[in-house]
Amino acid sequence: MRRLQQSKLSLAPGAILALAFSVAAHADTKPHLFQSPALKGDLIAFGYAGDLWTVPRNGGRAIRLTNGVGVESMPIFSHRVTYHPAADAAVAWTPDGRRILFRSTRAAASRYTQIFSVPAEGGEAAKLPLPTAYQGQMSPDGSRIAYSPLPPAFGFEFTSFVSWGNYRGGRASTIRLTALPGLDSVEIPHEQASDFFPVFSRQRIYFLSGRAGPIGIYSYDPATKRVAEALHNDGADIRSLGADGATLVYDQLGEIICTIPPAANLIRFRSRSTQTSLRSGVTSEMSPGRSTTRRFLRPVSVLRWKLMERF
C-alpha cells in the first residue's frame, strides 16, 4: 500500500500521536482499515471490518465488541436508549453527560433528519429546536450547538458509497453555530466545498473541509469569526473527526490519529508486524516513522497493539 504523503501542520506547538496498524499473514504485511474513531476517557472506539472495537488511547490491546449479523459503524460511547422504529444514530453527548444527542427521521416530513436528545438512562426523547440537522456537537457550557443541517453529498457508508471527490455543488454541506435556546445563528464562513464534522476543542470549533484540496482540518474562532487551516493535507482525504473537548481524533486511509490542538508536528508510527499463533488475535509492534517537521516535541515510546476478539 502506498504510504500517505506528508502533512503540514500550522499553529503553535502541541503533540500528535498517530496510531498506524498492520498485521502479518505469513510473510506479507497487510494493512488494517480503521474508521470513524471516537474518544472517551482513556479509550478509543473505532470501526473495523463491519464491527466495533475499543483500544486504550496510549496503546495496548484492541478488543472486539461486536460479532453479529449486520454492520456496526460510527461508534459513540453510549448504550441503547431508543426503541423507535425509525433509524436513530447517536451523534454526541450533552456537556454534562446526562443526555445523548442522536439524529432521526422520526418526525421528518421528507428525506431529512433532525437531532433529538434522550436521557442517558433512557426515557422520552426531545427534539432540538432546529429545522434540519445531521451531525453536531454542543459547546462546553451547553449554550450553543455547532451543526450541519444536511449530510455531506459524498461519503462512505456500508449501504451507500458516493465517490464525489472535490464536490462543489448545491449539496455542499455547511456548519451553523446556533444559540440555545435563543436560536441566534451564524454560519461558519463557507466556500464552495463541503464543511462537516464540527467539534468543540479549546474554545474553538474544528471541522473537516475540502476547500483547499484534499479534506483537511480547519478551525473557527467564535470570538474573531475567522477560519484558519489547522491541518494542511496533501494526502488522502480525512474521513471523520471527533473530540473529547481537549483532544482531536480522526482517521485517514486506515490510520487513527490523535492530536492535541494546536499542533506543529506529526508523528506517525510504522508497524513491524510479527506472525503469532495466538488464537486471540495478532500482535503488532509500532515504531516511530517520519515526522512532518525536522524536530520532535517529545519522545514517544514504542506502542504494542493486539487485536482481541470477545464474543
Show me where the domains of the chain are located.
8-309
Instruction: Determine the pLDDT at residue 301.
Output: 28
Amino acid at 15: A
Q: What is the pLDDT of residues 124-171, one digit of tens each?
A: 999 999 999 999 999 999 999 999 999 887 766 655 666 667 788 888
Q: Of the segments 188-192, 271-275, 290-294, which one has the largest average pLDDT value?
A: 188-192
Cell representation of residue 95: 456537556
Nearest CA among 225, 226, 233, 183 for reference residue 208: 233
Q: Is the pLDDT of residue 295 over 80?
A: no
| Whole-angstrom distance, CA of residue 7 vs CA of residue 305 | 24
> Looking at residues 6-18, what average pLDDT do you find?
40
Specify the range with the lowest mean pLDDT, choosing from 106-120, 125-139, 207-221, 297-311: 297-311
Instruction: Determine the pLDDT at residue 262.
Output: 66
Cis peptide before 56 (omega within 30 of 0): no
Q: What is the pLDDT of residues 272-282, one digit of tens each?
A: 333 322 233 33
More confident residue, 309 or 280: 309
Residue bearing cell 488522502: 236
Q: What are phi and psi of 277, to 5 degrees?
A: -100, 5
Instruction: Determine the pLDDT at residue 195.
Output: 94
The DSSP code for 213 is: S
Instruction: Determine the pLDDT at residue 124.
Output: 92
pLDDT band at 300 (very low <50, low <70, confident <90, very high): very low
The DSSP code for 257 is: E
Instruction: Determine the pLDDT at residue 162.
Output: 65
Amino acid at 278: L
> Looking at residues 200-204, what average pLDDT do you find?
90
pLDDT band at 5 (very low <50, low <70, confident <90, very high): very low
How much of the chain exceeds pLDDT 90, in percent?
37
Q: Cβ contacts of residue 253 below 8 Å, gap of 6+?
A: 4, 33, 235, 236
Cell representation of residue 311: 464474543
Q: Class of 8-309 per CATH?
A: mainly beta
Instruction: Determine the pLDDT at residue 286.
Output: 34
Strands 15-19 and 216-221: unpaired
Cell representation of residue 65: 465488541
Angle at 94 between CA 88 and CA 98, to 5 degrees: 90
| Whole-angstrom distance, CA of residue 100 vs CA of residue 96 | 10
C-alpha atoms less than 13 angstroms from C-alpha of 128 in its C-beta half-sphere: 35
More confident residue, 32 or 59: 59
Entry pTM: 0.72
Cell representation of residue 31: 494493512
Instruction: Determine the pLDDT at residue 245.
Output: 85
